[in-house]
Amino acid sequence: MGTEFDAILIGAGHNTLAAALHLSAKGWRVGVFEQASVAGGAVKSGEYTLPGFRHDWAAMNLSLFAGSAFFKAYGAELGRHGCDFMPVNRPFASSFPDGTWAGVSTDMAETLAAFRALSRADAEKWQALVARFGEEAPHLFGLLGSPMKLRALAYFAFKTLRAKGASGTLDFGRFLLSSPRAWLEETFEHPHIRAMLAAWGMHLDFAPDVAGGAMFPYLEGMAGQAFGMALGKGGADVIIRALTSAIAARGGVVETGAPVARILRDGIRATGVELADGRRITAGRAVIAGVAPKALARLTGGTTPAFDAAMDKFRHAPGTMMIHLAMDALPDWRAASALQGFAYVHLAPSLDQMARTYQQAQAGLLPDEPILVVGQPTVFDPARAPDGKHILWVQVRMAPGTITGDAKGEISATDWPSAAAPFADRALAILEAHAPGTRTKIIGQRIVTPLELEADNPNLIGGDQVCGSHHLSQHFLFRPARGHADGSTPVQGLHLTGAAVWPGAGTGAGSGYLLAQNLAGQ
């Protein structure tokens, strides 16, 4: 069979689709093959509870995509294919068991009022941090958008040194190495303000005491204040539908229900793929695998012992359980009715509780008090539910992929089919304590366990929605392994992309776009 494509991409997640669109724009003919019946991976939407109620399966927040370098380049084109966002002016808040709350709004006066109710000193500190964000943002975003190669890092360090001086650069380096707890306790006095921001670290596997995690609560807080949040109009899958449509318009192919059985090789070079139905499809220039590192050896049959061992040892974060709720009405938050106006309400009461929850999940235990991320997308996008109704998107963090026991000693089951209902009941009891009467408003429910997340998308190993821990030993130059942060592999023409590759998880499409730019010569 002659060459059918210049590049074949395995998996139709947003990173592979971003890579496919950029390569298509550079004149490459691309073919994307996805094992699932729909494209998108963790970024998909559907009526998972009742007709007319449209839920986001896993990812909901599209701020990283909307603010990405990729979208800056292709936003106009994607807009012509239906990509549209709902702006969010109140991105996140936290409710606390003592009946208090704190939240961040794009209206500085609103944010400061919420902070002052807890601490006037913290309100002043927040105002000072926001005032300096414009100076700090270029350095942080410059690092996160930089290729992870020594030459690129050396240039970044030189620019930072020239801008900040020696002492400023050392302070910046110390911040990058700090844990969320270290930075938050140095910066804020009130434990609730610390907890509100620390909850963001848990989204990326950074429990309060994990080194290197301070940057994420800081960035999410500052970005929420400056820009708010972006939700996909009608559902997060709006970006996936626009990407697949744009690729098709440029002559590319996106085929779903087409699992790849193996990667074809001619000696040391990847030449194409064989699908599960027996079809062999050749690629003249590149094969790009949007898969979890542990899956690569199964597709290649093995590369080099060192690389295969590194991929097999790639560490995954604890899992997540999703609870999708169709609602008669929004929760009546005990702390304040104002919480009904936020996209996310975190139920994560303290740094110590978050640290304990993380340790329990790492040990395989069902946490006694899981962290909840309660998404209220219909506040900003009411078309996702019938008139007057709402949906709740509830992430239960953390949840072990393999259960060894229950930290609370109440759930005897150690298999997810049996443990799902009682563990979801524990989570909903926490929500009920913060918003009494919520259970009576539930008219439809769908529980998605960590194992169901993995079964639907094999990249989410054990329900790990970020496709791999972001701890320092597996981040920056080491994501997914030393020497391969650019997605390269020992097989010529074979590349890895997705959340397991630098710059990691989130909807920013960074790894796919960086790889495609590298392959196409920018």
User: Do 323 and 72 touch, CB atoms closer than 8 A?
Assistant: no
Using alpha carbons, list the distances in angstroms from residue 141 to 146, 180, 301, 321: 8, 18, 38, 30
Say what the pLDDT of residue 2 is: 42
Say what the pLDDT of residue 114 is: 97
Residue 154 has pLDDT above 80, yes or no: no
Mean pLDDT value of segment 127-136? 92
322-379 confidence digits (pLDDT tens): 999 999 999 999 999 999 999 999 999 999 999 999 999 999 999 999 999 999 999 9
User: How far is it, in rounded angstroms, from Cα 11 to Cα 100?
Assistant: 44
Say what the pLDDT of residue 240 is: 98
Average pLDDT of every residue of the chain: 95
Residue 5 has pLDDT above 90, yes or no: yes
Q: What is the pTM of this model?
A: 0.95
Range in 52-61, 156-165, 402-411 with the lowest mean pLDDT: 156-165
Say what the pLDDT of residue 152 is: 67
Residue 223 has pLDDT above 90, yes or no: yes
Mean pLDDT value of segment 82-101? 98
452-507 confidence digits (pLDDT tens): 999 999 999 999 999 999 999 999 899 999 999 999 999 999 999 999 999 999 99
Domains in the chain and their CATH numbers?
Answer: 5-42+69-84+235-314+469-520 (3.50.50.60), 92-227 (no CATH), 318-456 (no CATH)
Dihedral angle sign, alpha carbons of residues 17, 21, 23, 24: positive
User: How far is it, in rounded angstroms, from Cα 339 to Cα 181?
Assistant: 25
Distance from first CA to last CA of the chain, Å, rounded?
A: 30
Say what the pLDDT of residue 334 is: 98
Residue 1 has pLDDT above 50, yes or no: no
164-222 confidence digits (pLDDT tens): 888 888 888 888 899 999 999 999 999 999 999 999 999 989 999 999 999 999 999 99
For 197, the 3-state DSSP assignment is helix
Mean pLDDT value of segment 248-254? 98
359-372 confidence digits (pLDDT tens): 999 999 999 999 99
Range in 141-145, 310-314, 421-425 with the lowest mean pLDDT: 141-145
User: Do 240 and 254 touch, CB atoms closer than 8 A?
Assistant: no
Say what the pLDDT of residue 158 is: 67
Say what the pLDDT of residue 3 is: 62
User: How far is it, in rounded angstroms, from Cα 497 to Cα 504?
Assistant: 9
For 443, the 3-state DSSP assignment is strand
